[in-house]
Structure 1
Amino acid sequence: MNNRKLYAAAMIIMSLLVIVSVAFSAVNRRADSFTNNNLITEEALYGEVVDSIQTQGFAIRMESVINPNYTGVLNYRVANGSRVSSGGVIADIFMSESDAAAQNMADRMEREIQSLSALSRPMDAYVSASTALGEQIYDDLSDVMLDIQQGDFSGVTQTKEALLLSLSRKQVLSGQESAEDYAQRVSELKREKDSITNGTGQSMNSIKAPKAGYFITYADGLERTVSIDEVENLTPKKLEQLLSEEKGTVSQQCIGKICEDFKWYMACLFDDDAMIKFEGVEEVTLDIPFASTATIPAKVVARNRDADSGKTVVVFECTYMDSDLATVRNENVQVNVKTYSGVLVNEKALRFLDIEYQETDEKDNTVTKVKENVKGVYVVYGGQLEFVQVFTEKDVNGYAVCKLELSEDEQKNLVTDHTIRLYDKVVVGGVDLYDGKVVR
């Protein structure tokens, strides 16, 4: 009986302890919620933001289409995107496909012979470069991976050969292979090449580059739609027509084209709201994400507005060219108007308050004044909220770019003890916020 009473009493005490514990936790949670008001903070970090505009662009270059009159099998001697000189051989014409294939095989063997000939010399000829050889291997491997990612499988042939050459040099320097081994391989390749070329027909004719520049193995029929001399007079109506065209008429005899000049143009169409960003802007950078990994410096050379439509053609002059850009025509373009740097603050944190401050007048009397609509943020300092004034240069992509170093005029207009600092805990969410509020 006594045991049952003791058991019941123990159970009652345990139940009371559980109830008290739950109640205590609930009170603590409520107190913590009351103190913090579910504050959400972000650390103020230094960074850069780009004020950019997404649009469609039309590339205009000085291009020469190659339309030779030939009969036979065409065999390109240079890869797509290669730099060629005026009068340089672009392709050979063979009687049959077997002759063209044999010539391709002989050309590959000749490239391998040239590469391995350097390895067949004594090691001392390039042992001094052993330190840089590892970096060269990584660079060559990066080139191969980049060509694969961009779908430039014709370029992979050359970058792969460069990688294999660097790896072979590494083998020689490490002692795993000798110069004599490569000398023997060179002799074998020369014999194989001679047997191939002796048993096949030679090329009947060659096609040469009419101009110096980048050789592109195809044409889209839009090479002459806009003259370089008239590019700065391009109208919005004409550009809209160009942007709607995917491809023009191309001759069946066309074997490619030459992009003659490093200077080329990108024409883009903007409305009046977007044109506000170009006020006072003469230089920008362009990103063409689906065509090239390069960021292209560009200069604004024309702004042609149509009053009826409210649209403006902006023509950008570019002087950077590579094999990828030589193929661009009608592409999505990101125009980077300006880059801003400073402390990045979430726009949700910005608040406008009327702030009282003290000022000394001409008679050295302290006068209390009120400045209305002061832009600032709440930050957590020493377990309290403090409102600090901020000076923003630009709001971009949901973030205000705040200054750390204030000008003399900004210092005079500062009505809080200081402006924002790096690594401040900035309040971006919460209720019942006020200066001096105690928080945890």
Structure 2
Amino acid sequence: MDKLLFRRILMIALSVLAVVYAAYLLISTNFKMYPTENAVQTTVSDKIYSNGFIIRDENIIRNNTPGVLSYTVHDGDEVKAGGEIAKTYASDDDAASQSKISALQEQLTDLQTLQKTSTAGNIGIDTINNNINNNIILHIKSVNDGNLSDIDDVTNDLLYSINQRQIYTGKITNFNDRISELQSEITTLESKAGKSTGAITTEKAGYFLSHCDGYENALDYNNLDRLTVSDLENVKQTKVSDNVAGKVVSGLKWYVACKVTADEATRLSLWDGSATVLFSDASSESIPAVIKRIYQKTKNSDALLILECDYMNSDLAQARQEPIEIGLGTYTGLRISKKAIHDDYVTKTTYDENDNKHTEQVKVQGVYVLHGSEVRFRQISILYADDDYVICDPDPDSKELVNGTTVELYDRVILEGDDLYDGKVIN
């Protein structure tokens, strides 16, 4: 009796397993799940990252006059050809006194200017407050960066803005007492300071910089068309001589040389020539640039990219080797996963001059989308491609579309699946 019961139970269990397996096969065949992703609008920026080397028309100024230097211009100031950039003095004390006199004279000039206007003119209080905040930030940055050459200038600008606010708000009506103090202090210093023993001038006009880094003319500014990746990789820094008093950066145009990959070179060669460059360590804002040259030894090798720029400020004037971000534009469209893209045929319909209808099958790139339970194939027009996704034009020119249809916002795009075709019904 026990054996008979056991056999019946075993037979029932096997029958249930057979039914379950048959059901599984039926479901997997007729109710296959296709993962989907909605087509959503996205804006992306096409960027290339590299390390840039800045090339300028730099002219070194040498000092062959004995004595201690005291600069009469600031870093970033424009100087004329033959213009004075510094004086020499017999001692450190004399040079320091002259530097102090120059700083006091700047303060005096600023106060006299504010005194004459007596008000802030057309400048509003919000602008004045913004100037104060910006100058405080610049002062903190100069201290943190150890950029002592800029601190005096930034301090004077901050002091000017604060005094301007006091005039504007009526807290102070004049600066007569402070002007008298400055005039007296300047007179006292001038009576004690020694006379200048010489003057240093520049042969060329441009922007003056007191610091030289040893990379001046390491890459020939006038020979950029022959520059190679090897030249950039083997650039050498030279020792700055003791008699170097600074340099003048001439010309409006300066250049950034960097190495890019073969794929990046292809992208750049297809671009219209305009770009932006962000020097992450030297500036918080991108500046406009133009693609001047792309040089590749072979189509699969790294390339040398040279960008031309004409915007300059004091931070950029002192930069040399910087991490850079090259911007090639922004794209707005529908974000589609690359694994969802397929090649399939669509019907192209045309009419001849006699209004006779003609059709042909044309192979295009597109995606399968799920409309209810029906699969539809939609052609796509790619604006931008990344490693994992593409940005598609939601409204391409009708001439680009073979049958007039394309992927639309919020379409359920099928990411993967076998045996997909236009018109397939999924139960």
User: For each residue in 1:311-337, what CA deviation from the matched residue of structure 2 results, as whole angstroms up to 9, or x when unmatched?
Assistant: 43333333223322322333333333x
Q: Which amino acid aligns with 1:100?
A: A
8 Å CA contact 1:284, 1:297 repeated in 2 = yes
Q: Name 1:350's counterpart in structure 2.
A: 340
The equivalent of 2:169 in structure 1 is 174
For residue 27 of structure 1, what is the aligned residue in structure 2? none
* From 295, 317, 323, the counterpart of 2:314: 323
Give the C-alpha shift of residue 251 in structure 1: 0.7
Matched, 1:196 2:189: yes
Aligned to 2:122, the other structure's residue is in SS state: helix
Name stretches of at least 5 consecutive residues in structure 2 with no aligned partner.
1-30
Measured after TM superposition, the shift of residue 67 of structure 1 is 1.6
For 1:297, the equivalent position in structure 2 comes to 288
Q: Secondary structure at the match of 1:263?
A: strand
CA contact (8 A) 1:75 1:93 kept: yes
Q: Corresponding residue for 1:396? A: 386
Q: Deviations over 1:105-128 (max 9, x none)?
A: 2222211111111333473xx354
What secondary structure sits across from 2:244 in the alignment?
A: coil
Kept after mapping to 2: 8 A contact 1:130/1:173: no
Q: Does residue 221 of structure 1 match 2:214?
A: yes
Q: How far does residue 259 in structure 1 lie from its aligned partner after superposition?
A: 0.8
CA contact (8 A) 2:379 2:407 kept: yes
Structure-2 change in CA distance of 1:187 and 1:428 (3 Å)? farther
Paired position in structure 2 for 1:49: 45
Partner of 2:99, secondary structure, is: helix
- In 2, Cα distance between the equivalents of 1:360 and 1:221? 68
* Amino acid in the other structure paired with 1:252: D
How many Å apart are 1:370 and its aligned residue? 8.4
SS in 2 for 1:86: coil
CA distance change for structure 1 residues 236 and 176 in 2, over 3 Å: closer, same or farther? Answer: closer
CA distance in 1, matches of 2:373, 2:155: 61
Instruction: Tell me, yes or no, if the aligned pair for 1:352 and 1:376 is still in contact at 8 Å.
Output: yes
Q: What is the rounded CA distance, in whole Å, between the counterparts of 2:133 and 2:304 in structure 1?
A: 41
What letter matches 1:93 in structure 2? T
Task: Describe the SS at the equivalent of 1:408.
Answer: coil
Q: Is the 8 A contact 1:99 1:200 kept in 2?
A: yes
- State the one-letter code of the partner of 1:251: S
- Of 199, 210, 229 in structure 2, the residue corresponding to residue 206 of structure 1 is 199
Q: For residue 184 of structure 1, what is the aligned residue in structure 2?
A: 177
Q: Distance in 2 between matches of 1:39 and 1:168?
A: 66
TM score, norm. by length of structure 2? 0.75
Q: CA deviation at 1:97?
A: 1.9
2:126 is equivalent to residue 134 of structure 1: yes
CA drift of 1:65 comes to 0.8
Question: For the structure 1 residues 365 and 86, does the alpha-carbon distance in structure 2 shift closer, same or farther, using more than 3 Å as the test?
Answer: closer
Match of 1:4 in 2: none
Once residues 251 and 300 of structure 1 are traced to their aligned partners in structure 2, the CA distance between those partners, rounded to angstroms, is: 35
Paired AA for residue 80 in structure 2: S
Q: Is the 8 A contact 1:63 1:260 kept in 2?
A: yes
Aligned with 1:310 (options 294, 301, 324): 301
Q: Per the alignment, do residues 344 and 210 of structure 1 end up closer, same or farther by CA in structure 2, a change over 3 Å counting?
A: farther
Q: Distance in 1 between matches of 2:249 and 2:50?
A: 24
* Gap change, CA 1:405 and 1:202, over 3 Å in 2: same
Q: What are the Cα deviations for residues 269-324 of structure 1, in whole angstroms up to 9, with x where unaligned?
A: 34433321133445132332223334333333334433599343333333223322
SS in 1 for 2:400: helix
Q: Take 1:127 and 1:225, find their aligned partners in 2: how far apart are those partners?
A: 47
CA contact (8 A) 1:136 1:166 kept: yes
CA distance in structure 2 between the partners assigned to 1:290 and 1:127 by the alignment: 35
- Percentage of pairs with the same residue: 25
CA distance in 2, matches of 1:145, 1:395: 39
- The amino acid of 1:241's aligned partner reads N
Cα shift readout 1:371-418 (whole Å, capped 9, x = no counterpart): 877523658x89999876542222136442221222122344344xx6
Superposed CA offset, 1:219-244 (max 9, x none): 222323333332211233323212xx
Please tell me the residue identity of whatever aligns with 2:90.
M
> Which residue among 405, 408, 411 is the counterpart of 1:420?
408
Q: 1:250 aligns with which of 240, 262, 266?
A: 240
Cα distance in structure 2, aligned partners of 1:364 and 1:209: 79
Matched, 1:287 2:278: yes
The answer on whether the counterparts of 2:120 and 2:167 sit within 8 Å (CA) in structure 1 is no
Query: Cα distance, 1:344 vs. partner?
Result: 4.4
Structure 2 CA distance for partners of 1:191 and 1:309, relative to 1, 3 Å? same
1:160 paired residue number: 155
SS at match of 2:52: strand
Which is worse superposed, 401-410 or 320-329? 320-329
1:84 to 79, 88, 96: 79
> Contact (CA 8 Å) 2:348, 2:403: kept in 1 or not?
no
Which one of 43, 46, 60 corresponds to residue 65 of structure 1? 60
Does the CA-based 8 Å contact 2:39-2:408 persist in structure 1? no
1:406 to 385, 396, 410: 396
Alpha-carbon distance between aligned partners in 1 of 2:226 and 2:350, rounded to the nearest angstrom: 60
* Alpha-carbon separation, structure 2, partners of 1:43 and 1:184: 70
Measure the CA separation in 1 of the matches of 2:139 and 2:367.
49
